[in-house]
Amino acid sequence: MPVHNADITAILEEIADLLEIQGANPFRIRAYRNAARILGDLPQEARLLVERGDDLTRLPGIGTDLAGKISEIITTGHCSLLDRLHRELPPAITELMKIPGLGPKRVKTLYHDLDVQTVEQLHRAAQDGSIRALHGFGEKTEQNILQAVQAHASQSRRFKLATAAQYAEALRAFLQAVPGVQQVVVAGSFRRMRETVGDLDILVTAAPDSPVMQRFTSYDEIAEVYSAGETRASILLKCGMQVDLRVVAQASYGAALHYFTGSKAHNIAIRRIAQQLGLKVNEYGVFRGEKRIAGDSEESVYRAVGLPYIPPELREDRGEIETAHAGRLPQLVELADLRGDLHAHTRATDGHDSLRDMALAARALGLEYLAITEHSRRLTVAHGLDPIQLAKQCDEIDRLNAQLDGITLLKGIEVDILEDGSLDLPDSVLARLDLVVGAVHSRFDLSRAKQTGRILRAMDHPHFTLLAHPSGRLIEKREPYDVDMLRIIRHAKQRGCFLELNAHPERLDLLDSHCQSAKEEGVLVSINSDAHSTFDFSNLKFGVGQARRGWLEKADVLNTRPLAALRKLLRRTM
């Protein structure tokens, strides 16, 4: 895949944008913008100049450093400076510049003054009136931004991962049962375990006489058939989700799976590496000239370009390719690694099943321990426990532990963090527990400084163990509250406590980027179901998917430890 001037221009412009967001030297920023303009106007391909050995510094405004960057882009398909900037800045921040009316100057102000990193956070800031107070914005600009964000969000409907899974798994099972079908896999953002999914891409290998296409286009849940051919079809389900089916040859299966899994940025990066090796990668295989040399498996695609297999959850072009080159890819945590669950409720508060039923369901799934963490008294809507009620439940847990084999119940509480940072129950009660899970359930509208200070003070409590659903978001329902997450992560490290990755499909909280930050800072993350019924333990798989997107390994996850090791870690926080 040749690198064209437009590719170079896009990279140089993105570098300038990110440098401006960082607040870099204006002259340096201007140099990259000028270089992008010069390359954009250049009548011949810069790669041809490099191939001829021409000196790029002869181009107006291109010095030695910029000439080196351009040569690097042409020869490797990427720029190490841009890679570094992507690591230094939030991954989603470039998405903000896709919002009409937001250029790098405004994104810089939003990022530095309000810590707006995502479109979600931008929407919240526009809704609560924070933006109008910024210099150079005002009420009218704030309203324009709010409208632009809403228009941006409405461009394509997205489904929560767990919702998409219901349709995907049903379709996969339906297609797998069709005569002659050999393999069925759901690719796309669903396979990458994105929090939300826009549509489904399904790949199938099948015998030539298989009626798979006819069966697919007559599926019961179809609202409309957009197109139908011999090897591909597109339908709209009644739920509003588009599904694309492709029947591929076994020899191309791995290449097609790689191509349709994405992400687009990851695939482009792989194709550029292949181009440097004299190869071509597409959905049909890896080719040297006209000869296909790989493509029957994804492993063969990566092997052909000199890389180990990269798990789908990492394929976002956020450093995974460079890490793979260096032989340092993480061994990502798996569902089977979880030894227990540290956040669950029973019908003593707002759960639906008894203490015994929850214990037996956890044991049936192979878990060795389960923490019962009812709500505390402040959360009256959930019938939270007061000190007397919690003490009675602790006694009940002790009695049940004496009767059960193969599962141990831990005594805990999901205690409300009050506005001043204090906890909702007295120390005399908390001291009896195995763990204390702190949670913010009120005053989501506090300023960033106050919300952060509130949580930090709670974490300093001698009985505090684990911060539940740390950002408080509900996907597509409630924006995360404004908080300095890096400061919280670093305080958790200093304090010796832990963070939760809440696996409930409406939360999936921590963000994947915050998981990476916790890993880098050495803070353990607990993947918890927040189960309110015996069925909810199945949500753990979504939490594991989010953890894998956050590069977490088994050792980075608190509840992969056996019970004895877990108890030692919990005692350090109490």
Q: Give 93-133 pLDDT, tens digit per residue.
A: 777 877 877 888 888 888 888 888 888 888 888 888 888 88
- The pair of three-digit structure tokens given for residue 181, joined into one six-digit string: 């079908």
C-alpha to C-alpha distance for 84 and 100, rounded to whole angstroms: 26
Is residue 162 a contact partner of residue 536, using CB atoms and an 8 Å limit? no
C-alpha to C-alpha distance for 65 and 79, rounded to whole angstroms: 12
C-alpha to C-alpha distance for 535 and 517, rounded to whole angstroms: 31
CATH code given to domain 335-573: 3.20.20.140
The mean pLDDT of 60-89, rounded to a whole number, is 88
User: In angstroms, how far is CA 363 from the centroid of its own chain?
Assistant: 29
pLDDT value at 2 more than 60: no
pLDDT of residue 124: 86
pLDDT of residue 1: 45
pLDDT value at 382 more than 90: no
pLDDT of residue 460: 96
Identify the weakest region by mean pLDDT among 49-53, 285-289, 344-348, 459-463: 49-53
Strands 466-467 and 435-439: parallel
CATH superfamily of 159-247: Beta Polymerase, domain 2 (3.30.460.10)
**DSSP code string of 480-503:** PP---HHHHHHHHHHHT-EEEEE-
Q: Which secondary-structure segment (H or E) carries 202?
A: strand 199-206
| 263 closest CA partner among 313, 217, 221 | 313
pLDDT value at 8 more than 50: yes
pLDDT of residue 548: 98
pLDDT value at 281 more than 90: yes
CATH code given to domain 5-153: 1.10.150.110
pLDDT of residue 9: 84
Cβ partners under 8 Å of residue 22, min gap 6: 85, 88, 89, 108
154-170 pLDDT, tens digit each = 556 788 898 888 889 88
Residue-range domain boundaries for the chain:
5-153, 159-247, 252-325, 335-573
- The pair of three-digit structure tokens given for residue 64, joined into one six-digit string: 């030695």
167-188 pLDDT, tens digit each = 898 899 999 999 999 999 999 9
Token pair 């009985």: residue: 463
C-alpha to C-alpha distance for 437 and 417, rounded to whole angstroms: 10
Amino acid identity, position 132:
R
- 489: how many CB neighbours lie within 10 A of its CB? 24
Beta bridge partners of residue 280, listed in sequence order: 287
Taking the CA of residue 94 as centre, how many other CA atoms within 13 Å lie in the half-sphere pointing to its CB? 17
The mean pLDDT of 545-567, rounded to a whole number, is 98
**Dihedral angle of Cα 541, 542, 548, 550, to the nearest 10 degrees:** -150
Full-model pTM: 0.76
pLDDT of residue 520: 96
Cβ partners under 8 Å of residue 297, min gap 6: 253, 254
Q: What is the mean pLDDT of the chain?
A: 91
pLDDT of residue 41: 63
Sheet architecture: strand order including 369-375: 340-341, 369-375, 408-416, 435-439, 466-467, 498-502, 525-528
228-245 pLDDT, tens digit each = 999 999 999 888 889 999
pLDDT of residue 77: 81
C-alpha to C-alpha distance for 446 and 342, rounded to whole angstroms: 28
Alpha helices, DSSP H, located in 90-160? 93-96, 104-114, 119-127, 138-153
pLDDT of residue 43: 64
Q: Which secondary-structure segment (H or E) carries 264?
A: helix 264-276
Q: Do domains 5-153 and 252-325 have the same CATH topology?
A: no
Residue 252: asked if its preceding bond is cis (omega within 30°), the reply is no
- How many Å is the maximal CA-CA distance in the chain? 83
pLDDT class of 450 with cuts at 50, 70, 90: very high
- What's the CATH architecture for 252-325? 2-Layer Sandwich (3.30)
Is residue 181 a contact partner of residue 226, using CB atoms and an 8 Å limit? no
Beta bridge partners of residue 414, listed in sequence order: 375, 437
pLDDT of residue 521: 97
- The pair of three-digit structure tokens given for residue 284, joined into one six-digit string: 């049909």
C-alpha to C-alpha distance for 45 and 8, rounded to whole angstroms: 10
| 349 closest CA partner among 533, 538, 539 | 533
